[in-house]
Amino acid sequence: MGEAGREWGDWSRLRGTGRLCLPPRHPQHSPLFAAFVGAYLLYSWGMQEFERLKRKNPADYENDK
């Protein structure tokens, strides 16, 4: 390979290599991610609350025979 690539990040000597860079609008994806996390947390809480409320309260049936 020669001297090209001896040090990390020294790709300027290699011809035809692509460059990887973040698009300038990359930070705009963070609100979308936060929305998905918020929706997941809300859904998870709702399902747990539904299961909790679905159970019968034994105190309601103490006087039944």
40 within a domain of the structure (yes/no): yes
pLDDT for the residue numbered 12: 59
CB atoms within 10 A of CB 37: 10
Domain extent, residue 42, equals: 28-53
pLDDT for the residue numbered 42: 97
Ranges under pLDDT 70 in the chain: 1-29
Contact 23, 29 (CB under 8 A): no
Residue type, 17: T
43 within a domain of the structure (yes/no): yes
38 within a domain of the structure (yes/no): yes
pLDDT for the residue numbered 20: 62
pLDDT for the residue numbered 64: 84
Percentage, residues of the chain above pLDDT 70: 55
Query: Which residue spans within 1-65 are E strands per DSSP?
Result: none
How many folded domains does the chain comprise?
1
